[in-house]
Structure 1
């Protein structure tokens, strides 16, 4: 009979909140940092633009492919050490990516994707464990809004940093978010952040009747519907992010203005993330999913029907994209279950969702190239949003009922 080491006293919620904010920033900033200096990277390494594009697509693919590995890592090490590993690994991978020639850049990028995947999956568990249930939606919105703030900061600051240093420093510096999060986290958890603490087997209650690896969570209808909803959200977000500037330029807008409008779409995501707990708290999960889906329709329907209203569509769609990912992450915990179940659900949902997100840019770009028109691509985008709306609303109704009856 094994004896588990007693847990340390609960850390300050403010300290946990700071860790979550800095972790959220590092989960996206090293990936986004490539785009502003893509031409510098291409010229220095002597590779094509398509190859440079791999530096953005590889981590997103890793989010999908490595999600089961992330779940297994969390179960083997425990959430505390898993977060430590994710943060330390992200810092090291950022340095490797910036330190050598093209093979080192690819290796560092692949490692970055693996470690960031662990971070994606483990943060919802940390939020569930450390915050009171009534504060979990707000902590989740803090997490997702910090992703958007980090993305915005990197987009604005990477080129100026590269101008006074070089592209290697400009993309490596954003690993500092991870270093800061690591320092705060280890300071809070101390020994627990540095030692394995695998989950004890559940022997009683519903959790005890579940498969020991938590696969039952991935087999429930609500989890599959949530995965479909996130697939629609991720496809719409990454597809819009990749091609919105080109869509605007092809419509006659100057490139500089198109970039600014695309930034508006991203910035509005912060407000959308912060508003989501209000929606889920006052209206419940299913109506919130419908409202978010209807807001997302502004992008494909707006540009199909009235492209001159681009500012309204980007404002409303920006709110919806920030709200959409926040809603999904709130539901990872909102559908109930212990840490093992949430880990299984998180890995399943994120694996499927990010796979769809990685598919979106090449698919929409390929359809546009084949047809010479944005209408077919926008119709595909419309289909993804409909999946988000319908699967989200249905999954929320089922998942909330299961949480009440089963957990």
Structure 2
């Protein structure tokens, strides 16, 4: 009761400021959803040498978190229903911190076990953070989503660029382990937010609470939607588009520094090039929605997909222009993610359908993406070169273009 009395003495402006800060902490969570993964790519050669891992095993190490995304994502809503969204995110951030420490400090077994824990933890954030953004910023969802995406991708780019310089100073274990610091800080901040929200019922919390009975009442309807969605050809097309762009992105994030080094690019430049790959993607991801307006999404699909093929083929056959081809590929990569996410909403007519298609696309899409880095490493082991891998990425980009054009021309979908 004393706490409640004290809150009455807080000026309304200060109270609003505190509430705004608490709400904005979701963007701090977003900062931690890619950096622990993108810091690995530039360090793979050093990790491989230290832990005696061939290219296939290095690829598997890069694929493990993505596989965790695919397996865990469909189950996150159940945990959120039992614990609440706030507590589920808190648990995810705590386990993320623990996973980062295990990956760096517990030897070879810890490298694999920690990576798996990291993947599972980030999968929870992948599912719940966009939902929190939409819930807490109902009048500014597009802007808030853009900020969320920029935070996530921007920190991922920084992690890529800083990996090698940090590794020179503190070793690859220390470089990967340092990301436990921001993860630990956000865990404490989210604990503050969770406790503050538990002491009062915010409009957002009330909205979430009110939505639960409706969710229970519509369980049978959602089950029917889930069955029918998996039988819809266009749903599979959207899912394949999501999966193909994910394969391209995660192969690049995992192997691009190694590929460049094999072509004679100095190792200290590769981390910065991977950062450029991601930063250009941020800018293009903010611009591509202009082409998604109207009945057809064909133009957006072409702009998103064709540069992926050009960049891969350019790097394969003219590697001296590596930075140019990386920028071209990053244009496609940044646009492809936004187009894939947009197609999920554009090709469904109800919130329930959108939810079902999103779950299907993320589950299958991440399964496909998980195969990518490992397959790329296996191809390298067989061929002793990266040109075949780059040609494979170009072929997948062409397939993505064809599938996207079919989807984009279907004006009646979702209506």
Same fold (TM over 0.5): yes
Q: Which moved more, 1:165-174 or 1:106-115?
A: 165-174
Match of 1:147 in 2: 152
Q: In the alignment, what sits opposite 2:238?
A: 226
Q: Is the 8 A contact 2:41 2:257 kept in 1?
A: no
1:224-270: CA deviation from partner (whole Å, max 9, x where unpaired)? 22210111101112223344445445555455555554443233222
- Name stretches of at least 5 consecutive residues in structure 2 with no aligned partner: 1-15, 200-204
TM-superposed CA distance for 1:379, in Å, is 3.2
What is the CA–CA distance in structure 1 between the aligned matches of 2:248 and 2:293, rounded to whole Å?
25
Aligned residue for 2:13? none
The 8 Å contact of residues 214 and 340 in structure 1, kept in 2 or not, is answered as no
The CA distance in 1 between the partners of 2:323 and 2:259, in whole Å, is 13
Q: Residue 213 of structure 2 aligns to a residue in which SS?
A: coil
Instruction: Quote how far apart the aligned CAs of 1:321 are.
Output: 0.8
Residue of structure 2 aligned with 1:358, choices 349, 354, 370: 370
For the 8 Å contact 2:90–2:190, the answer to whether it is kept is yes
- Pick closer, same or farther for the CA change 1:26–1:203 going to 2, 3 Å: closer
* 1:19 corresponds to which of 20, 26, 36: 26
Pick closer, same or farther for the CA change 1:380–1:47 going to 2, 3 Å. Answer: closer
Partner of 2:11: none
CA–CA distance in 2 between the matches of 1:53 and 1:203?
A: 41
Match of 1:317 in 2: 329
User: Is contact 2:40-2:254 (8 Å) kept?
Assistant: no
Aligned residue number for residue 176 of structure 2 = 171
Cα separation, 2, equivalents of 1:184 and 1:106: 28
**Cα pair distance change 1:121/1:203, threshold 3 Å:** closer
> Where do residues 133-282 of structure 1 align in structure 2 (5 Å cutoff)?
135-162=140-167, 165=170, 167-188=172-193, 190=195, 199-202=212-215, 209-211=221-223, 216-251=228-263, 253-257=265-269, 260-281=272-293
Q: How does 1:105-144 map to 2 (within 5 A)?
A: 105-132=111-138, 135-144=140-149
Q: CA RMSD in A?
A: 3.9
Q: Matches of residues 81-92 of structure 1 in structure 2 within 5 Å?
A: 81-92=87-98
Which ranges in structure 1 are unaligned for 5 or more consecutive residues? 1-8
What TM-score, normalized by structure 2, do the two folds share? 0.76
1:349 aligns with 2:364: no
Give yes or no for contact 1:229–1:392 (8 Å, CA) kept in 2: yes
Change (3 A) 1:35 1:373: closer
How far has the Cα of 1:70 moved from its partner?
2.6
Q: 1:223 to 1:55 in 2, by over 3 A?
A: same
| Corresponding residue of 1:370 | 382
Q: How far apart are residue 103 of structure 1 and its match? A: 2.9
Whether 2:75 is the aligned partner of 1:69: answer yes
Q: Provide the rounded CA distance (Å) in 2 between the counterparts of 1:193 and 1:390.
A: 49
- Mark the CA change 1:364 to 1:271 in structure 2 (over 3 Å): closer, same or farther: same
TM-score, normalised on structure 1? 0.77
Bigger radius of gyration? 2
Contact 2:250 / 2:373 at 8 angstroms: preserved in 1? yes
Instruction: Provide Cα deviations, 1:73-102, integer angstroms capped at 9, x if missing partner.
Output: 344444433333322221232233334333
Matched, 1:287 2:299: yes
